[in-house]
Structure 1
Amino acid sequence: MMKYILLFLLLVTSGFVSFSQSPSTEYGDIDIQDYQFHITVNDDNNIIEAQAHIGVLFKSDLISFRLDLENTDETKKGMIVTKITENGKPVSFKHENNVLEIYDNSAIGNKKTYSINYHGTPKDGLVISKNKYGDRTFFGDNWPNRAHQWLPTVDHPSDKAFVEWHVTAPSHYQVVGNGSQIEETDLDNKNTLYVWKTEVPIPTKVMVIGIAKFAVQHIGETHNVPISSWVYPQNKSEGFYDYALAKSVINFFIENVGPYPYTKLANVQSKTRFGGMENASNIFYFENSVSGKRKIENLIAHEIAHQWFGNSASESDWPHVWLSEGFATYFTNLYVEKTKGEEAFKKLVNEHRKQIIDFSKTQMTPVLDFETESLMRLLNTNSYQKGGWILHMLRKKVGDDLFWKSIRKYYETYALKNASSQDLKLIFEAVTSQELDTFFSQWLEKPGHPILKTSWESDKKSITFNIEQTQAGHATFSFPIELKVIYTDDSSEITTVMVQDKKLSQRIKVKSEVKNIVIDPNSWLLFEED
């Protein structure tokens, strides 16, 4: 997801316990295998009629388990469950405090399918509104854990499942969903049934449908992946032109990261609250993304990057969200480097460094934040730009070749699975044969970044380079820093100094009289000048 046009910058607070800290849930020891949602919408009101068939694998003996599902409140919005059955037999349940507790004795290893009949007006999650042209629309918008506003689920990225959508809607709408469309049936000259089905498991955060009046363009296949654009009919020409960029963007990720994880890519103009929402195989972009001027290439790259990082290889728990957002941010930069060159890439890197520094003036917190309870507040500069900068510095540390080998190995290992920051570290260590504890710990666990005061003196044979870390507190960072030595004849050379202490004074041999020293000339270090 990209905060491309968000009107807010959300903040977090500190705390790091363990790279591999597992999610704390109260669902019971279960694993959802598959969801089948039957959803009926209408134009008379915002009530949805629904039935969910949920395949549950029991990983221990249980007498009950829980699902997330919003119940009604004083506004009368929320979901009302009327019946639950298993194999045709009624099952007892309790639905309160936005938890659906299902009472049924189940032994370890059992798989059961529960049918849940419910209805209601979604508070959120399924956004029912009008688009900018005044047409009624229905768009799923689940991130981070808003799926439970309209779907009974384990609303956490660690529990992935197959999903099948059976959507009945007035026939003037079209429906787009995750996976492949397997059915379209006119029911009664007024309503049409659409069925979409995934071939692989996905997390609930990217498990959505879109219902609207669409103009649809199928722009062909690349690497056997069909790509389509779904836009409002009123801006069809502009939308088709803008979204066609996706075909070249997806090639970059397939060729550099690994096979595309899904059976299609649909790029959809929508009512998402975000700049873009990376729903699996079914990306939703904010409705004003369409301009006819192709201003959103980086946004498209960001959301397509998420199909690999965040959707397929997903964070194991919310504090590791940088594995999604930091990856999408940096891989957008890498796409820019490939397509527009080194200067355009460096410009983005430097812009992000400034944003990180500015953010630290208002919120001094680590990237791995286990304290913040509001998940939306994790969408901040730490998760996006600083997460991307960590990958940038890691690339410099291990070298381009080993960086890409490690990325491909990480994705190959965790495709369609979940990973933590520790899992990423272990992959990089295995591929590069380098010990990376210090690197990962200081950049993910510690808040802030080095603030450096530097000076130098020279004679014709050497310079003495002085550097002091002046950041507040007791955090001392360990890092290499490049120095560009510029001579009086305008020739230059780059040397690297390894900094491990608060203060360092190092003598460096030079060829002749030095005119100037440029710190970090190629923008490889996240630091601030004092």
Structure 2
Amino acid sequence: MRKILTLLFFVPLMAGLSARAQAPGATIDVQHYRFAITLNDADNIIKGQATVTAKFLRTTKQFELDLAGQNNDGKGMLVTALKEQGRPVKFTQDSDKLIINTKSIAGTVHSYVITYRGIPTDGLIISTNLHKRRTFFGDNWATRARNWLPCVDHPADKASVEFLVTAPAHYKVVANGLKIAEKVLPGNKKLTHWSETAKLPTKVMVIGVADFAVANAGNPGGTPVYTYVFPEDKEAGFKSYAVATKILPWFVKRIGPFPYKKLANVQSKTVFGGMENAGAIFYYEKSVYDFKGMESLMAHEIAHQWFGDATSEKNWWHVWLSEGFATYMTNLYLEGTYGADTLKSRLEADRKTIFGFEKRYLAPVVDSAFKGPMINMLNDNAYQKGGWVLHMLRRKIGNEAFWKGVANYYKQYNGGNANTNDLRLIMEKAGGTDLKQFFNQWLRTAGHPQLKITRDYNATDKTVAIHINQLQEKPYQFTLELLVDGKLYKTEVKDAVTTFSVPVASAAPEIKIDPNVNLLASFTE
């Protein structure tokens, strides 16, 4: 996901079992959602019929689904009926929950049909685009699906999903998965049925309904890549979005098979610059004309299909596993496409951003103490610092081991959930080294190394002693690279003060600190 500032920029059986996760204390594990949604042009009222199929994790007389009820302004969802196998089930609603009163036994599976209607307060954005045409776009991150869909609105509960959208016939509909039916209905309406069999978190379940121009940009590796743009922008959009056919196979080659059966890139109305909805990525309206920036934005969102969508965080504290991965995978794609200098320049820019953010909010990347609005978790710690940690991990264990670990991480947790420790264990195995200290200092400790570096020339043996002083309270452990008169030296640093000497040709050798941009630290000489 790329956040918009203001409006614009802001397998093996055991492996599969270990990847499954639920929120602590969860009563149900949703297996499948079937959302039948009716839209119209006369008003913003939606009619819904949701079939929620869930496995009960414990015996209970009552369970809850997330659903925003009607507020004082008359917006929100009102449930009018709830049935199981055609029989009414007792329920109540409050401002944010649908409480279902029914006895269920642990291990059993039940399907509930929920009929509801209302004007979404959020989640499904009903508005007009820049061409004054009416549009409907799902926008669920992080926990906004509940504003129009009865669900378990938490990333740990993943399920397959179907959308059956009835709308005026002039609209085209895009959603997760594959389009399995499109049927003209009486009254100048149309039913479009999309189905996704992969397990998704609700944050990336969406529909997009608009007057679209649609093109097939290509089928790299057998995965169809589609472009959905507003008709007025199709010439620019078909051109700028086509770069997806180059990005997708680059990631497939290194990470593993694409998790979904199609990839649609969609011009949309979203509060984000890009939103990584599974197999149906939404981009901000004017993105079609951003020919320079579109490649990096699209690389970020496509990387999310593996990281965040297919492999999802177990809870929001670990959101860097989505955003840090997407940030660094973008950098790696651009390095592979345009060279190492591109990676260096992006890392330098990200490093400055991280240090600026620390002055406003000093916290670890895995921020379990965070209490603010969910949207504020999309910060420079999750994106840039998370990406930087992956860069240093790659340098620590080596390129081959890093990519092996990335591929294994995706393979084990595809369709499931992971936390930071799960990633550590995978990377330890790939790299053959203990990474506890590395993960703790970079991800669970606030701040960064602040290094003061001085030098002393010894005329007798023609060497220079380089003194590395860590100014922060607790010393970090890391490898520091220095280029001395064109020769690269590496030294291991773990104490408050570290000194090492190198031969030099003069009393004033040229010294460059961290010449390859491999350390997240600030330097003063």
Q: Which category of TM-score, normalised to the shorter sequence, fits these structures?
A: over 0.9
Give the deviation of 1:512 after TM superposition: 6.7
Within 2, Cα distance between the matches of 1:395 and 1:360? 24
Contact 1:485 1:514 in 2 (8 A): no
Show the counterpart of 1:97. 95
Aligned AA (1:33): Q
Q: Is the counterpart of residue 515 in structure 1 residue 516 in structure 2?
A: no
Match of 1:526, SS state, is coil
Give the deviation of 1:331 after TM superposition: 0.3
Bigger mean CA offset, 357-366 vs 273-282: 357-366
Show the counterpart of 1:303. 301
**Residues 98-151 of structure 1, C-alpha deviations (whole Å, 9 max, x = no match):** 011111111111100000000000000000000001000000000001000000
Show the counterpart of 1:127. 125
Contact 2:9 2:273 in 1 (8 A): no
Contact 1:4 1:299 in 2 (8 A): no
Show the counterpart of 1:13. none
**Residues 212-247 of structure 1, C-alpha deviations (whole Å, 9 max, x = no match):** 000000122111100100000011100100100100
Within 2, Cα distance between the matches of 1:162 and 1:516? 59
Contact 2:32 2:52 in 1 (8 A): yes
Q: Is the counterpart of residue 186 in structure 1 residue 166 in structure 2?
A: no
Counterparts in 2 of 1:294 and 1:523: CA distance versus 1, 3 Å? closer
Within 1, Cα distance between the matches of 2:303 and 2:274? 12
Contact 1:237 1:292 in 2 (8 A): no
Aligned AA (1:377): N
Contact 2:365 2:386 in 1 (8 A): yes
Show the counterpart of 1:2. 2
Match of 1:123, SS state, is coil
Q: TM-score by structure 1 length?
A: 0.94
Q: How does 1:337-376 map to 2 (within 5 A)?
A: 337-373=335-371, 374-376=373-375
Q: TM-score by structure 2 length?
A: 0.95
Aligned AA (1:2): R
Show the counterpart of 2:36. 38
Match of 1:515, SS state, is coil
Unpaired runs of 5+ in structure 1? 11-19, 487-491
- Cα RMSD for the two superposed structures: 1.7
- Alignment partner of 1:526 out of 502, 520, 523: 520
Contact 1:457 1:463 in 2 (8 A): yes
Show the counterpart of 1:449. 448
Counterparts in 2 of 1:293 and 1:7: CA distance versus 1, 3 Å? closer
**Residues 423-458 of structure 1, C-alpha deviations (whole Å, 9 max, x = no match):** 000001111110101100000111110111101122
Aligned AA (2:437): T
Aligned AA (1:404): W
Aligned AA (1:379): L
Match of 1:275, SS state, is strand
Within 2, Cα distance between the matches of 1:512 and 1:223? 57
- Alignment partner of 2:497 out of 503, 510, 516: 503
Give the deviation of 1:509 after TM superposition: 4.4
**Residues 241-266 of structure 1, C-alpha deviations (whole Å, 9 max, x = no match):** 01001000101110111000000000
Within 2, Cα distance between the matches of 1:7 and 1:55? 37
Q: How does 1:211-230 map to 2 (within 5 A)?
A: 211-230=209-228
Contact 1:356 1:381 in 2 (8 A): yes
Contact 2:463 2:503 in 1 (8 A): yes
- Alignment partner of 1:137 out of 135, 138, 141: 135
**Residues 73-114 of structure 1, C-alpha deviations (whole Å, 9 max, x = no match):** 111110000111011111111110301111111111110000
Match of 1:290, SS state, is helix
Counterparts in 2 of 1:213 and 1:382: CA distance versus 1, 3 Å? same
Within 1, Cα distance between the matches of 2:423 and 2:502? 36
Show the counterpart of 1:251. 249
Within 2, Cα distance between the matches of 1:4 and 1:399? 34
Give the deviation of 1:513 after TM superposition: 5.9
Counterparts in 2 of 1:221 and 1:24: CA distance versus 1, 3 Å? closer
Give the deviation of 1:514 after TM superposition: 5.5
Give the deviation of 1:508 after TM superposition: 3.4
Which of structures 1 and 2 has the larger relative contact order (alpha carbons within 8 angstroms, sep 6+)? Answer: 1
Contact 1:461 1:512 in 2 (8 A): yes
**Residues 137-190 of structure 1, C-alpha deviations (whole Å, 9 max, x = no match):** 000000001000000000001000010000000011110010000000000151
Bigger mean CA offset, 369-378 vs 267-276: 369-378
Match of 1:104, SS state, is strand
Counterparts in 2 of 1:410 and 1:246: CA distance versus 1, 3 Å? same
Show the counterpart of 1:424. 423
Contact 2:46 2:118 in 1 (8 A): yes
Q: How does 1:312-323 map to 2 (within 5 A)?
A: 312-323=310-321
**Residues 275-316 of structure 1, C-alpha deviations (whole Å, 9 max, x = no match):** 000000000000010117353110000000000000001111
Unpaired runs of 5+ in structure 2? 11-18
Contact 1:6 1:274 in 2 (8 A): no
Bigger mean CA offset, 514-523 vs 290-299: 290-299
Match of 1:518, SS state, is strand
Give the deviation of 1:25 after TM superposition: 5.1
Within 2, Cα distance between the matches of 1:5 and 1:179? 30
Within 1, Cα distance between the matches of 2:151 and 2:182? 26
Q: How does 1:131-280 map to 2 (within 5 A)?
A: 131-280=129-278
Within 2, Cα distance between the matches of 1:273 and 1:414? 29
Within 1, Cα distance between the matches of 2:491 and 2:9? 36
**Residues 473-526 of structure 1, C-alpha deviations (whole Å, 9 max, x = no match):** x3321111001111xxxxx21111111111222233457766121110100000
Within 2, Cα distance between the matches of 1:180 and 1:199? 9
Match of 2:489, SS state, is strand
Aligned AA (2:428): E
Q: Is the counterpart of residue 464 in structure 1 residue 465 in structure 2?
A: yes
Match of 1:55, SS state, is strand
Show the counterpart of 2:437. 438
Counterparts in 2 of 1:9 and 1:215: CA distance versus 1, 3 Å? closer
Show the counterpart of 1:391. 390
Counterparts in 2 of 1:295 and 1:405: CA distance versus 1, 3 Å? same
Aligned AA (1:446): T
Within 2, Cα distance between the matches of 1:23 and 1:446? 26
Contact 1:31 1:57 in 2 (8 A): yes
Bigger mean CA offset, 186-195 vs 291-300: 291-300
Q: Is the counterpart of residue 414 in structure 1 residue 408 in structure 2?
A: no
Within 1, Cα distance between the matches of 2:252 and 2:297? 18
Q: Is the counterpart of residue 331 in structure 1 residue 329 in structure 2?
A: yes
Give the deviation of 1:53 after TM superposition: 0.3
Counterparts in 2 of 1:260 and 1:42: CA distance versus 1, 3 Å? same
Match of 2:301, SS state, is helix
Within 2, Cα distance between the matches of 1:4 and 1:478? 35
